[in-house]
A and B are shown apart, each in its own frame.
Chain A
Amino acid sequence: MGLGVGRYRNPPHPLPRSFLMDWTILSFLTADALQNGTIYALLALSLVLVFAVTRVILVPLGEFLVYAPLTYVWFLPAEVSGLNLQGQIPGTAWLAAAMLLWWAILDRTNLRRAGLLALSALGVLGLAWWGAQGVPLWLGWLLAVLVVLPIGPASYRLFFEPAKNASVLTYLIIAVGLHFAFMGLGLVFFGPEQFRLPAILGGQTTIGLVPVNNQAFLVYGFALLAMVGLFLFFTKSIYGKALRACAVNRYGARLLGISPSQAGYVSFGIATLIACVSGMLLAPLISPAYFQGFLLGLKGFVAGILGGLISYPLAVVGALLVGAMESWASFQASAYKDAIVFALLLPILLWRSLQSHELGEED
């Protein structure tokens, strides 16, 4: 017994069939590669920055990337998010506040700093409460970034600073542990499902034959801004030069009065900021969920490795390469996509590791 559904005719595809097979496919794949590659590039830049200054491979960076947009969901009006949260404060705010408080307790000998940290812990909760009460979209956007941002530097103070002068391997183990902890917390805070976020720029623009989401242009814009910004920061500003000094030789930098701890906070802060903003811009295109950060971070890491974790331009090139391989593999043999991407990288990594000696062993 049917309920009477009309017969359906497939309308002709907008593009002629023969044409679809070559140029169009290439340009579509390139557009996809560029979008993914740009995100990997942003993550790779952050990872290289953090590694150069602190010798930490910041595995949980991917979690920061999804924390920001998921927090933003909690600040959205109910009719946009489709959730009924009733002014609930997102878990990330409690996490950030708790970490800042802990930091304050650790630094209790420096009363002024401890006081400031305790105040900012309260501030984060206040911002989150304000956001959860219902604010305009743009304000919620900013608040989400501000709420998640302290988690980065606080992670450095709480988990890496106590292990001063540890080996790269020790730092890596701590970082992997943090990644699992943050991912688990992400599940507790935001649940297992994905969320839909409003795009800042809706709609598509067709370039040649390829429709590109307008939101993607914001990602590209931010990537350019971040690259130029980092370049100016490192070449022009005194803080940037201090960070570079730390990266080149920590001992020497200390002799010149540069505090490695401070350099650590700043580098973690910049990396978290880049990750948060990238996440906020990318989120409307991917429907974020707590589990999505890790793979993005991993591919950013691979891109960074292609640049030996020291070279920013090579990291960007590596990121675009990973993006290109990925889109090619997903077109050719989607069932083996990730396997192909990582397998193709093996020879390059091997070559790189033979080229560079004792990567990361300092002084």
Chain B
Amino acid sequence: MKRVLVGLLALGLGLGLAQQAPLKIGVVVSATGPAASLGIPERNTLVLLEEQVNRRGGVAGRPVQFIILDDASDTTQAVRAVRRLIQEEQVLAIIGTTTTPASLGMIDPVAEAGVPKISLAANLEIVFPVDEKRRWVFKTPQTEQQMSQPIVRDMAASGVKTAAYIGFNDAYGEGWARAFEAAAREAGIQVVASERFARTDTSVAGQVLRILARNPDAVLIGGSGTAPVLPQRTLRERGYRGLIYQTHGVANPDFLRVGGDVVIGTRLPAGPVLVFDQLPPDFPNRQVATSYVQQYEARFGIGSYSTFGGHAYDAWAILRPALERALRREQTTNLAAFRRVLRDELEATRNVVGTHGIFNMSPTDHLGLRFNEAAVMVEVVKTPAGKLDWKLLRTFR
């Protein structure tokens, strides 16, 4: 009898949800192509969230539908996907995309159509300065500027006086070069060499030699994925014994797998979710990060989580309350007006605790993170079991 009642109740609830038109959210991620190792956890996270939200009754009683498109790490495809989501699917808001160039390319179409967008890419220029177009654009990942702070502070605390930089010869590497050199200057650290290499390079001996000739106390390698292993290995093979820093672009298990023993001792800034279980108990986003990782691993396997999925989680964390508030103010059938209200509500985001930090948006700040909660310093260590792992080195609260 009880079971029948529960069944009827579930059926009723299901019918109730089904009768309401779903809240359509467009998603563009790089599930294939060079940025796939970032895009796949983002997609997985959103799939997980969609199921979970709808199982618990949706948002304000209405089911949520994520329409997920893949841009294959390509700007043109990302822009095409956005236009399709806006015109054909009539989405309320857009989450995406994974890479910086494509996120920049998406600004024009969303601004023209007046659709709020939350980017999952790092570069500051996606949301800064907030102008007529960028009014519509928000983002969740930390910028290079914010991630440079922990690095120079850690360098200063370790007695580093001179540092060298070697980074990708693309937007990622250049962005880091600018951010790091500015932060280092402020901290009184002299940058004695600034070299570039390509993701596809098979030798960086020349660049490394130039760095060695200057004999810096520390070297920062500005790259993402697994390609930054090469300069690090070359540095060690050529006898460099100083500190080696990487960026948060390498905070993935593949980096450890490809790097092996060579990358032991690497220091890097990362979102706190990377070392969720080592955070001090009073760290404000410890709980959210822990619960996210547990849900993700329960679904996709132990050790499968990465920091990138956390950005997608955070995008929904700020979108959901904004949606709830907007639904109280405007009908979704009145699409243009609803999108405008939703944008205003996103800008009014206060004290939303995500996996990577605490979000406080404002009309001049569409990221709303402070590096104090959004970044920690991590070191690669070898566990007694012989596995490589991330170890929390310092926090900056």
Residues of A at the B interface (CB closer than 8 Å) are: 1-3, 5, 7-11, 13-14, 17, 20-21, 25, 28-29, 31-32, 35-36, 82-83, 187, 191-196, 204, 211, 213, 282, 285-287, 289, 291-292, 294-296, 326-332, 334-335, 337-338
Contact = CB atoms under 8 A, between A and B. Distances in A.
Given A17-B215, A25-B213, A5 B158 contact: yes
A330 B193 CA distance: 13
Contact of B200 (A35, A196, A292, A331): A292
B215 A2 contact: no
Contacts of B260: 82, 196
A204 B237 contact: yes
A292 B229 contact: no
Given A20-B213, A287-B230, A292-B200, A213 B237 contact: yes
A207 B105 CA distance: 51
A334 B221 CA distance: 14
A31 B32 CA distance: 37
A32 B197 CA distance: 15
A29 B206 contact: yes
B203 A192 contact: no
A29 B154 CA distance: 33
Interface in B226-282: 226-227, 229-230, 237-239, 241-243, 254, 257-260, 280
21 contacts: A3-B392, A8-B243, A10-B218, A10-B242, A13-B241, A20-B213, A25-B213, A28-B238, A29-B209, A32-B203, A192-B33, A192-B34, A192-B35, A194-B226, A211-B239, A287-B258, A292-B202, A328-B206, A334-B197, A335-B169, A337-B197
B62 interface: no
Interface of B: 32-37, 154, 157-160, 166, 169, 195-207, 209-210, 212-213, 215, 217-218, 225-227, 229-230, 237-239, 241-243, 254, 257-260, 280, 392-397
Contacts of A83: 257
Contacts of B205: 28-29, 31-32, 327, 330
A195 B258 contact: yes
Contacts of A337: 196-198, 206
B393 A5 contact: yes
Nearest to B169: A335
Contact of A21 (B32, B213, B230): B213
Nearest 3 pairs of A and B residues by beta carbon: A330-B206, A331-B206, A32-B205
B157 A338 contact: no
B42 to A, nearest CB: 15
B206 A193 contact: no
A216 B196 CA distance: 24
B41 to A, nearest CB: 13
B282 to A, nearest CB: 10
Nearest to A188: B32
Contacts of A292: 200, 202
Contact of B37 (A35, A192, A195): A192
A330 B204 contact: yes
Contacts of A11: 241
Task: Name the residue among A193, A196, A213 with the largest chain B CB count within 10 angstroms.
Answer: A193
Contacts of B204: 330, 334
Nearest to B252: A193
A9 B218 CA distance: 10
A334 B226 contact: no
A31 B34 CA distance: 31
A334 B204 CA distance: 9
A3 B226 contact: no
Nearest to A289: B226
A211 B238 contact: yes
Nearest to B174: A335
Given A28-B238, A334-B197, A286 B202 contact: yes
Contacts of B226: 193-194, 287, 289
A295 B199 CA distance: 11
Contact of B207 (A7, A204, A330): A330
A339 B199 CA distance: 15
Nearest to B238: A211
Given A3-B393, A3-B394, A330-B207, 13 more contacts: A1-B280, A8-B160, A9-B159, A194-B229, A287-B230, A295-B200, A326-B206, A327-B205, A327-B206, A330-B206, A335-B169, A337-B196, A337-B198
A10 B217 contact: yes
A13 to B, nearest CB: 5
B218 to A, nearest CB: 8
B397 to A, nearest CB: 5
A292 B34 CA distance: 12
A310 to B, nearest CB: 27
Nearest to B206: A330
A211 B227 CA distance: 22
A84 to B, nearest CB: 10
A14 B239 contact: yes
Contacts of B241: 10-11, 13
Nearest to B36: A192
Contact of B395 (A1, A13, A287): A1
A195 to B, nearest CB: 6
A340 to B, nearest CB: 11
Nearest to B386: A79
Nearest to B267: A5
A334 B37 CA distance: 27
B206 A35 contact: no
A331 B394 contact: no
Contacts of A17: 215
Contacts of B397: 1
B269 to A, nearest CB: 14
